[in-house]
């Protein structure tokens, strides 16, 4: 079920139903935040018809508000614009005369289109972010599903998922929808799709298969829509001033105007990043507009239209006038067209570049002389435009790292351990399966640890899995295992075996994948998943949805984005299995589409699956439908700064405990060597300065070095 954001919770608590202020038929646009609050209130009251109606109205109101703002900005720019420079003697009054006319125009236009005061439609920043992140669609898809409006529910879910591909619960919901009978393929559509992304991706696809004429048509369509989207974005920048800092005194007239205007200019500059960022991604497509022109010039060249190829090349050179390759192409195009042919860049691109450079100049002047910062979104900004004092602080744009071929496996010399499957047999890259990493006895000991600590460890303490309601999840970190052993809750030898088994696995993975390079633990987790009895009929979900370990998987775009919130520092992953007495729970690998299964591995005691953590290895876990599946999940990094700190603490505890146990053994041996009274058997050695349980104070017939039998009762917990 969708979670409730705190700002929305406060709005629900502090306000009565707000839509009553705007009766139906009044011609007034109801503020979207009030509709949203009433819709979520109905959602949690399980009033599905009203929730669906209000959430849909909220989305419509939000869309209408943005359209009104864009429309009024465009109209008032024409009706109350600045026609020519004001006369020098009275420039100030003439300038502000136009400013007042623009303000009047905007107020009148918005009031007429909204049917109410524009100030009533100002929502909190948190509610705005909810709509920008498409959160209302998350509530809406549940309400529509409850109303058995399946196709509409699928569209709402898909719309939310496109913008939130890392949302695991929605990813699982999408997989359920895909398996449901009666769901139409066309229902999986983005209700907020922007026209240019579809055109751009289609154009690139044509380009990649040498269909240059079709590529040019789609790329031209995309470029036109991108420029329109930029204007829409820029129009929305002229909103209220955002002031997060507390000033000691109010700003004067010109200081306040300058601060607000620079905020607007920075927002306008940022629009190129917003337009170039596909929904659901954090990073923008590099050089979005210049890349259109580069692709177009090549496509037109390939189909023999040298005039349009030259025009696109000239337009590209407005961004990068020193690009040697493009300059060479321009010479060739001019030679092909003849001496008399004139080649000019596109006028709309000229205006775009000139306006952007003028805005950058003002922003850099303000940053240098008035303070503040500016992250320039464009890598093509000329160096001469940036003041000398700011050049060192100027944002540097990262170039894409070259894709290196996977390393060849190193020599494998671990006695008794065998390679059961390699990358070739697993139909992928940098994948391997080892057998006999643990013995049956070692697996049983670690399973005993998991059982004893399952209710007292970390993780979810036996509650429902974070990935499915049909399984219970128990997790234990190495540090928690040692702390529980120190308290006498679990067997000390079992806890240290967890550390030794994971370290053995690390050495195996390091030897195979990164010989000569140190692999550090990023995270170690003993995990058990237990099928909920009586809750498996008709189950269609997975135990763990398909994902990659260091990037955000985008199945639709067939890409994996190495950006937050992904664990980008993870380099290799491993799973060391402890048992196989359960149904389901197999690990499987897929293509980037998260659907096409390329390999599958059945868990077994001592089997270790290892693979690189990137987009080359999407993987998931089939549903556990009966029994309990336990394994040690392992993640590794080549970066020492991201090494698992808890593990270091656990290793310190283990060393300390081993030393204390050794001292205890020595004391016992001395005692037994001098005392032959035949008294009761000595207590099991316990590290000094530890709190002993009541059961440990009693004498026991168990062997020295083992936990007393009384303690086993806690294992059954």
CA-wise closest residue to 528 among 601, 469, 598, 460: 460
Torsion of CA 579, 583, 589, 594, to 10 degrees: -140
Cβ atoms of residues 585 and 629 within 8 Å: yes
Answer positive or negative: Cα dihedral of 210, 216, 218, 223: positive
How far apart are the C-alpha atoms of 675 and 137, rounded to whole Å? 77
CA-wise closest residue to 644 among 453, 479, 474: 479
Q: Are strands 552-554 and 559-561 parallel, antiparallel or unpaired?
A: antiparallel
How far apart are the C-alpha atoms of 112 and 109, rounded to whole Å? 5
How far apart are the C-alpha atoms of 259 and 243, rounded to whole Å? 10
Cβ atoms of residues 226 and 275 within 8 Å: yes
The β-bridge partners of 560 are 553
CA-wise closest residue to 472 among 539, 540, 528: 528
Q: Which two tokens stand for residue 356?
A: 């952007």
Cβ atoms of residues 572 and 519 within 8 Å: yes
How far apart are the C-alpha atoms of 387 and 175, rounded to whole Å? 53
Residue with tokens 């953590």: 613
- 3-class DSSP state for residue 599? strand
Cβ atoms of residues 225 and 196 within 8 Å: yes
How far apart are the C-alpha atoms of 550 and 636, rounded to whole Å? 11
Half-sphere exposure of 129 (CA within 13 A, CB side): 7
Cβ density class 452-479: b for 16+ within 10 Å, e for less: bbbebbbbeeeeebebbebbbbbbbbbb
Strand ranges (E), 359-514: 418-421, 431-435, 471-476
How far apart are the C-alpha atoms of 593 and 559, rounded to whole Å? 8
Cβ atoms of residues 206 and 215 within 8 Å: yes
CA-wise closest residue to 707 among 498, 499, 487: 487
- 3-class DSSP state for residue 701? coil
Candidates 134, 268, 629, 647; catalytic one: 629
- 3-class DSSP state for residue 652? helix
How far apart are the C-alpha atoms of 296 and 307, rounded to whole Å? 12
Residue 390, classified by CB atoms within 10 Å of its CB into exposed (0-12), middle (13-18) or buried (19+), is middle
**CA 569 to chain centroid:** 14
CA-wise closest residue to 48 among 153, 192, 151, 182: 153
Residue 240 CB neighbour total at 10 angstroms = 9
Residue 233 CB neighbour total at 10 angstroms = 18
Cβ atoms of residues 684 and 705 within 8 Å: yes
Element (H, E) at 554: strand 552-554
Cβ atoms of residues 522 and 644 within 8 Å: yes
How far apart are the C-alpha atoms of 619 and 591, rounded to whole Å? 9
Phi, psi values for residue 512, rounded to 5°: -80, -45
Residue with tokens 């399980």: 46
DSSP 642: G
Distances (CA, A) of 322 to 238, 293, 327, 419: 35, 16, 7, 54
- 3-class DSSP state for residue 408? coil
Decide if 98 is catalytic: no
- Give catalytic residues, as residue numbers: 629
């Amino acid at each position: 079920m969708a979670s409730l954001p705190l700002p929305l919770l406060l709005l629900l608590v502090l306000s009565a139903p707000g839509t009553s202020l705007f009766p139906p038929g009044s011609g007034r646009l109801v503020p979207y935040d009030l509709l949203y609050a009433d819709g979520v209130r109905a959602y949690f009251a399980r009033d599905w018809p009203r929730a669906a109606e209000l959430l849909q109205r909220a989305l419509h109101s939000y869309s209408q508000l943005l359209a009104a703002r864009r429309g009024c900005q465009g109209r008032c720019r024409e009706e109350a614009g600045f026609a020519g420079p004001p006369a020098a003697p009275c420039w100030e009054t003439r300038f502000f005369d136009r400013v007042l006319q623009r303000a009047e125009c905007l107020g009148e236009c918005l009031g007429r289109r909204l049917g109410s005061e524009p100030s009533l439609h100002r929502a909190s920043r948190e509610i705005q972010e909810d709509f920008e992140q498409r959160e209302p669609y998350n509530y809406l898809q549940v309400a529509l599903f409850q109303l058995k409006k399946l196709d509409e529910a699928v569209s709402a879910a898909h719309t939310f998922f496109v913008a939130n591909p890392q949302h695991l619960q929605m990813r699982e919901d999408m997989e359920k929808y895909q398996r449901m009978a009666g769901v139409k393929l066309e229902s999986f559509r983005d209700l907020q799709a922007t026209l240019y992304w579809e055109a751009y991706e289609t154009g690139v696809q044509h380009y990649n298969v040498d269909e240059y004429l079709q590529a040019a048509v789609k790329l031209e369509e995309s470029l036109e829509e991108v420029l329109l989207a930029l204007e829409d974005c820029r129009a929305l920048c002229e909103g209220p001033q955002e002031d997060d800092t507390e000033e000691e005194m109010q700003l004067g007239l010109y200081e306040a105007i300058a601060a607000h205007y620079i905020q607007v200019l920075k927002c306008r500059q940022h629009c190129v990043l917003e337009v170039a960022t596909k929904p659901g991604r954090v990073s923008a497509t590099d050089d979005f507009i210049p890349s259109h022109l580069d692709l177009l010039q090549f496509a037109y060249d390939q189909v023999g239209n040298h005039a349009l190829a030259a025009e696109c090349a000239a337009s590209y050179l407005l961004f990068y006038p020193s690009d040697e390759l493009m300059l060479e192409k321009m010479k060739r195009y001019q030679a092909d067209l003849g001496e008399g042919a004139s080649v000019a860049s596109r006028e709309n691109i000229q205006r775009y570049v000139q306006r952007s450079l003028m805005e950058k100049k003002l922003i850099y002047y303000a940053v240098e002389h008035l303070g503040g910062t500016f992250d320039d979104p464009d890598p093509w900004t000329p160096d001469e435009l940036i003041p000398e004092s700011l050049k060192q602080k100027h944002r540097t744009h990262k170039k894409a790292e070259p894709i290196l071929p996977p390393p060849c496996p190193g020599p494998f010399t671990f006695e008794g351990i065998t390679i059961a499957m390699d990358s070739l047999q697993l139909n992928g890259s940098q994948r391997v399966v080892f057998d006999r990493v643990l013995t049956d006895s070692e697996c049983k000991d670690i399973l005993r640890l998991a059982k004893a600590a399952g209710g007292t460890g970390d993780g979810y303490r036996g509650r429902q899995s974070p990935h499915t309601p049909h399984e219970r999840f128990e997790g234990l970190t190495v540090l928690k295992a040692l702390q529980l052993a120190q308290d006498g809750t679990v067997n000390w030898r079992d806890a240290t075996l967890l550390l030794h088994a994971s370290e053995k696995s690390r050495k195996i993975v390091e030897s195979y994948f990164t010989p000569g390079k140190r692999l550090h633990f990023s995270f170690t987790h003993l995990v058990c998943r237990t099928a909920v009895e009586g809750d498996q009929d008709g189950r269609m979900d997975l135990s763990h949805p398909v994902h990659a370990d260091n990037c955000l998987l985008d199945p639709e775009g067939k890409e994996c984005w190495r950006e937050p919130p992904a664990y980008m520092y993870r380099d290799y992953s491993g799973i060391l299995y402890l048992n196989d007495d359960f149904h389901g729970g197999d690990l499987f690998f897929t293509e980037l589409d998260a659907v096409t299964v390329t390999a599958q591995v059945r868990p077994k005691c001592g089997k270790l699956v290892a693979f690189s953590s990137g987009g080359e290895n999407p993987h998931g876990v089939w549903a556990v439908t009966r029994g309990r599946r336990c394994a040690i999940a392992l993640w590794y990094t080549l970066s020492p700064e991201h090494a698992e700190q808890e593990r270091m603490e656990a290793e310190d505890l283990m060393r300390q405990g081993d030393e204390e146990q050794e001292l205890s053994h020595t004391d016992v041996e001395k005692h037994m060597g001098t005392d032959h009274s035949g008294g009761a058997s000595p207590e099991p050695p316990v590290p000094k300065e530890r709190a002993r349980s009541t059961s440990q104070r009693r004498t026991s017939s168990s062997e020295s070095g083992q936990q007393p039998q009384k303690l086993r009762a806690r294992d059954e917990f």
